[in-house]
Structure 1
Amino acid sequence: MSSQGTLLLITAMAVLAPVLVYATAPRIRVPLVIFEIALGILVGPDVLGWAHSDTVIDTLSDLGLSMLLFLAGYEIDFSAIRGDTLRRALRSWMVSLAVGLGLAASLSGGDLWAAVVVATALTSTTLGTVLPMLRDRGEMKGRFGAVLSAFGAVGEFGPVVAVALLLSGRRPAESAVLLAVFGAVTAAAVFWALRPRPRWFGRLTALTLRNSAQFAVRWVMLVLAAMLALAQVLGLDALLGAFAAGVLTRLVLRREAPDSSDEVLGKVEAMGFGFLVPLFYVVTGIEFDLDALLGDPVALLLVPVFLVLVVAVRGLPVYLLAPRDLGRADRVALALLSSTCLPLVVAITTIGVDQGLIGSDRAASLVGAAMLSVLLLPLIAGRLRARGHPAERAGRKRPDGSEAW
């Protein structure tokens, strides 16, 4: 099938996925991304064989992953997560990485680089996947949302930095220097963004918000492209550039166009969640090596093992180091949501397979566990919080007006 035909099929699956979500909602709440990936597997080469990835589709998929990380970076409000909360989040991730390296080394028979791949995958948090779910249910407001943003941001940024340092194909010292250069350029951009400037930016944003010029949306795309290009020039992972672009964009829009920032974000989210992000998830399903998973009993057995390890390695330190003002139900929910992973696991395992550090069967096991984490952990976390906050639950509504679970 040509690239155009594959793209048509992918967009059809992206449209079908939310229909299935609402059709199954009365019986079970399945996250949208699970249907997107499952439909990709269905039309992919290991089942129906209708769709195959190629250079064009892979490029669009990479843009979808970059947009997902960009939107996750934009959601981070550093004024709300600094201080003790951020320190606890950093300590929890460092503990997770140390524990993950030890467990992964034992699973890989002492293979250091295979252990690095597995450990960074086990310590990741899919903030870009978790936030839309919780925001749709109205759970990102208040103290719990701020704490989740802190732990999720560290769980997303930490593995990206670890990949840049350890899995770039260069010596760690050289990677550290390039990472420092990227950090310095990003810090300079942030400093520039916070400087007092004429108000033309905000005025032009407001004037073009509803016409064909769309200045602010074009500017957002420029920032994203520039940060991706900077990461590429320095030989760093593009995900780092995408996340930094989201952080930088939030600072500028909230400062220079506060009255228009939400509407600008809505337009960018429409582009991301309406096309690029679902394309990434469907392509993830198309490229998922189902034969390697089903053809190896050990690989299939490792799926629940890796899921348990994700909760133990990532979730347990989060639970133990969560702020003390959170109740027990909220701490457990925080641990489960922080253990929800997928996009970074896909990216990390792809790097590991491409560099010959892990086999496709182990990568399929990790991705399978990550898909289960997205399916199960937010569901359990939501029900725990609903039981712990019955009044809050009663006040939440689904988009169709019905009561949220």
Structure 2
Amino acid sequence: MQGLSTSLVLIAALAVVAPIITRLLDPLVKVPIVVFEIVLGILLGPSLLGWIQSTPFTDTLADFGLAMLFFVAGNEIDFAAIRGRPISRASAGWIISLAAGIGAGFILAPAPEAAVIIGVALCSTALGTLLPIIRDAGEIKSPIGIAVAALGAVGEFGPLIAISLFLSGKQLGVASAVLLGFVLLTGVAIFLASRSRHTLFHAQVTRTLHTSSQFAMRSIMLILSTLVVLSMVLGLDMLLGAFAAGVLWKVTIARAPQEDRRVIETKIDAVAFGFLVPVFFIDTGIDFHLGALTSNPATLALLPLFLVMLLVIRGLPSLLAAPSGSTRSDKRALLLFGATGLPIIVAVTAIGQDHGFITSGIASALVGAGMLSVLLFPLLALRQLQRNGRPETSNDFPAGSSPHRTEQASDGGLPPSDPSPTGA
């Protein structure tokens, strides 16, 4: 009990320290806050100081944080903006990335399961990290911003599909049938939600928005828990249910008053990025096996190798989504944005370690490469965009919420005149 109490207090303290460090370093270099959260977890975790130990309770909170991160990702996608050419080009690029990633996985680890783990990790894109960054840079409505959103949507949803198909422990045919059933169920729910006006539901949301009833947030928890549990019962990855829950909530609340949607987005940010998501990233650092990464020079060499592979395997195919008329700087920025990945890498390597598919050294090298991609690639991508005359902007909340999310609440959701989530 004493160990649990100490861990909880220290995790909470690190969650407070991380944004302070981010703010202090902001004039010098814009580092996503998730990097500091993970690094602080490594520093105080068993790998170095040993002040914090993972417990079943903190691991459960971290799982909730990961689910909430993918809920937010599903909720933030503007399907009306990315439908058509952006999503089709991004999907084609992701399929190439998956094939190339699994091929590279077979070279590094001949076991089929290990190859799939590595391939899925290398074909991911961190949508939840990138959307706030491009929004703060004023690119959310630009062709490049739309392309990045399409890349991120496919780069998070696609790997979840691959995990459910290849890592569920079922035969491929059975896994495909189960996945199809889940997609049909959630697709019908999303379609029905998009066609209904939800007048009584929105009225209840408005009445309780500033009371202890908090009907909107309770509804979000119900939708999230229902789809997460459904996905787990079906033997699918829980993150697939979390992502679908975000999409379902988006279409359900799309016709609500603009001010109500803005307030709800703020509340979602508070729960996700003020509480659960930091626990997930700090816990990732606590569980990071630094010793497994540094004890063997060959394993340590995998870290820069995986970083380069992210650029080649995920970044280069991302260029298929480049808008017409893109400059060379735009394409370089898109390559870097597409190669930015971390949450899926953390999730899939955890699955690999739990089932004994990959070693802790390979998992640590993949997570380390994901951390470096989040640290380096968005910063370099923004500099490429600035070469085209775009102004430099502050990136205060690069890994989660942003003050500018209120803009999306008003004009980035599904418009009242066309609530159908085309492409969902």
Pairwise TM-score range, normalised by the shorter structure? over 0.9
1:393 aligned counterpart, secondary structure: coil
Could you say which residue in structure 1 is the equivalent of 2:400?
none
Whether 2:58 is the aligned partner of 1:81: answer no
Q: Distance in 2 between matches of 1:259 and 1:321?
A: 34
1:12 aligned counterpart, secondary structure: helix
Q: Distance in 2 between matches of 1:13 and 1:70?
A: 24
Deviation at 1:143, TM superposition (A): 2.2
Deviation at 1:326, TM superposition (A): 2.7
Does the 8 Å contact 2:151/2:321 carry over to 1?
no
Does the 8 Å contact 1:125/1:338 carry over to 2?
yes
Q: Distance in 2 between matches of 1:58 and 1:135?
A: 31
Amino acid at match of 2:214: Q
Amino acid at match of 2:65: G
Cα offsets for 1:354-402 (capped at 9, x unmatched):
11111111111111111110110011001111122x2x316x45669xx
Does the 8 Å contact 1:315/1:338 carry over to 2?
yes
Could you say which residue in structure 2 is the equivalent of 1:377?
377
Could you say which residue in structure 2 is the equivalent of 1:157?
157
Cα offsets for 1:289-309 (capped at 9, x unmatched):
011011111111110000000
Does the 8 Å contact 2:224/2:245 carry over to 1?
yes
Amino acid at match of 1:393: P
Cα offsets for 1:149-207 (capped at 9, x unmatched):
11110011111100000011111111111101111110121122123345111222122
Could you say which residue in structure 2 is the equivalent of 1:393?
391
Q: CA RMSD in A?
A: 1.6
Number of residue pairs the alignment of both structures matches: 396
Does the 8 Å contact 1:289/1:364 carry over to 2?
yes
Could you say which residue in structure 1 is the equivalent of 2:60?
59
Could you say which residue in structure 2 is the equivalent of 1:177?
177
Does the 8 Å contact 1:88/1:323 carry over to 2?
no
Q: Distance in 2 between matches of 1:6 and 1:161?
A: 34
Could you say which residue in structure 2 is the equivalent of 1:403?
none
Which deviates further from its counterpart, 345-354 or 141-150?
Answer: 141-150
Does the 8 Å contact 2:197/2:255 carry over to 1?
no
Deviation at 1:349, TM superposition (A): 0.8
The runs of 5 or more residues in structure 2 that have no matched partner are: 398-424
2:138 aligned counterpart, secondary structure: coil
Does the 8 Å contact 2:65/2:272 carry over to 1?
yes
Deviation at 1:325, TM superposition (A): 3.4
Change (3 A) 1:105 1:25: same
Deviation at 1:259, TM superposition (A): 4.1
Deviation at 1:266, TM superposition (A): 1.2
Could you say which residue in structure 1 is the equivalent of 2:254?
254
Change (3 A) 1:192 1:4: farther
Q: Distance in 2 between matches of 1:258 and 1:96?
A: 38
Change (3 A) 1:399 1:314: closer
Q: Distance in 1 between matches of 2:266 and 2:17?
A: 22
Q: Distance in 1 between matches of 2:125 and 2:179?
A: 21
Could you say which residue in structure 1 is the equivalent of 2:70?
69
Q: Distance in 2 between matches of 1:194 and 1:279?
A: 33
Q: Distance in 2 between matches of 1:198 and 1:13?
A: 41
Amino acid at match of 1:63: F
Alignment of structure 1 residues 220-369 onto 2, 5 Å: 220-369=220-369
2:178 aligned counterpart, secondary structure: helix
Whether 2:116 is the aligned partner of 1:124: answer no
Cα offsets for 1:227-253 (capped at 9, x unmatched):
111111111100000100001111111
Cα offsets for 1:333-368 (capped at 9, x unmatched):
122111111111011111111111111111111111
Amino acid at match of 1:162: A
Amino acid at match of 1:297: P
Does the 8 Å contact 1:64/1:276 carry over to 2?
yes
Cα offsets for 1:312-348 (capped at 9, x unmatched):
0000011244232333222221221111111110111
Deviation at 1:15, TM superposition (A): 0.4
Amino acid at match of 2:338: S
The runs of 5 or more residues in structure 1 that have no matched partner are: 401-405
Amino acid at match of 1:152: G
Cα offsets for 1:13-68 (capped at 9, x unmatched):
01000110111122222111111000000110111101111110010000000111
Does the 8 Å contact 2:90/2:154 carry over to 1?
yes
Q: Distance in 2 between matches of 1:326 and 1:212?
A: 49
Which deviates further from its counterpart, 242-251 or 133-142?
Answer: 133-142
Ranked by relative contact order (alpha carbons within 8 Å, sequence separation 6 or more), the top structure is: 2
Which deviates further from its counterpart, 237-246 or 354-363?
Answer: 354-363
Could you say which residue in structure 1 is the equivalent of 2:422?
none
Q: Distance in 2 between matches of 1:39 and 1:102?
A: 34
TM-score (norm. length: structure 1): 0.94
Does the 8 Å contact 2:117/2:349 carry over to 1?
yes
Amino acid at match of 1:368: G
Could you say which residue in structure 2 is the equivalent of 1:99?
100
Q: Distance in 1 between matches of 2:215 and 2:343?
A: 30
Could you say which residue in structure 1 is the equivalent of 2:7?
6
Q: Distance in 2 between matches of 1:277 and 1:307?
A: 24
TM-score (norm. length: structure 2): 0.90
